[in-house]
Amino acid sequence: MNISLLKTPIDYLKGVGPNRSKLFKKELNIFTFQDLLSFFPYRYVDKTKYHKINEIQNTKSEIQLIGKIVDIYEVGIPRKKRLIAKIKDDTGFIELVWFKSHKWIKENLKLNKNYIIYGRPNLFNGTYNIPHPELELYKKETLKLRSSLDPIYPSTENLLKRGITNKVIRSIIKDLLLEINSKFIETLPEYITKEFNLLDKNSAIVNIHLPKSNKILMESIKRLKFEELFYLQLQLIKKNINRKEKIKGYDFKKVGNVFNSFYNNHLKFSLTNAQKRVLKEIRNDLGSNAQMNRLLQGDVGSGKTIIAFMATLIAIDNNFQACIMAPTEILSVQHYNNYKHICKSLNINIQILTGSTKA
């Protein structure tokens, strides 16, 4: 596929135009075709089930039903007018309610026609209604072609006010996928996709937006997550290599008396195998004449602070000062109190400096 196609401004996509493109840019930070394809759903709704009107209960979840519009009317004073469509199935009646865009909706509703209705029921004065539902003319021949999983995209209040509903976003993305016609360039080597049993790029992009089944949706999510983390990891490795080549650090070759004295005489517990492994890696980094840039990750209480303290002892053994920083003053005081007696016995001058420390 021509890469330049993905860089095409969103204005030129069918169904968008100048006004909608401004909203996409302002509200969703979508500027190009690529941005739109990377605008993933945050959840999916199973639309294989249809409720009967008498089955509706007070729920926070959306439901789907099939019914015929038997009446359309407006109620209320002009500024608080609302449009109501009465829906009937073989078990009862329910009202669909719109508080805005009355004229456009009323002109497009068809009396005595069956619709597929999707929305969240609302209980008002002991009666259920569905405010601002999604509607689709019921056609038996196209019912089987409907996607069983409908994507739900992030939105904003301003988009909904301007009529850019989830249905509109879904339709625009579908049009873009049809225009591109599954011509995405594979970004992972074949040996990686085979080793980790990953879906191809084309199938992953299409099925993240228009999933054919829950199984292929899960495979699409796995593929796209893997790709994102894979290239993030490559970027971090590349930065690490460049840093070690270009930025030289101090060479801490010696593990001397201070470190050994603490380890042999003051450490009251045995280090875990993981702590020993990480400490060895840190010692190698500090003795490599390259700047160390390391993230030590572990659960609370897993022993990260003691490793940081022992790393400072290596610096002290090589005639350097060292500093342990904490995110809060309370934690810094806690660390200071934990180590000041040990430092005194090791003849190390230890001080604490916080935002409230006076000059």
pLDDT at 291: 79
Determine the Cα–Cα distance for residues 308 and 299; give it in Å rounded to an integer: 15
Percent of the chain with pLDDT over 90: 41
pLDDT at 278: 93
Q: Which helix (H) or strand (E) holds 114?
A: strand 114-119
pLDDT in tens, 149-192: 889 999 888 888 888 888 889 999 998 998 888 778 899 999 99
Which is higher by pLDDT, 308 or 47? 308
Helices (H) and strands (E) in the chain, counts: 14, 9
Q: Which two tokens stand for residue 94?
A: 């329910």
Q: Which two tokens stand for residue 302?
A: 């897993």
Local structure of 164: helix, strand or coil = coil
pLDDT at 143: 65
Please give the backbone phi and psi of residue 45, each rounded to the nearest 5 degrees, phi first: -115, 130
pLDDT in tens, 84-127: 999 999 899 999 998 876 777 888 888 898 998 988 888 888 88
Q: Which two tokens stand for residue 345?
A: 């016995």
Q: Which two tokens stand for residue 204?
A: 């992953």
* Band of residue 225 on the pLDDT scale cut at 50, 70, 90: very high
Which parts of 214-324 are beta strand (E)?
none
Give the number of other CB atoms < 10 A from CB of residue 329. Answer: 13
Q: Could you tell me if 242 and 218 are in contact, meaning their C-beta atoms sit under 8 angstroms apart?
A: no
Is pLDDT of 216 > 80?
yes
Determine the Cα–Cα distance for residues 129 and 133; give it in Å rounded to an integer: 10
Q: Give the total residue count for the chain.
A: 359
Is pLDDT of 2 > 60?
no
* Positive or negative: CA dihedral 283, 284, 288, 294: negative
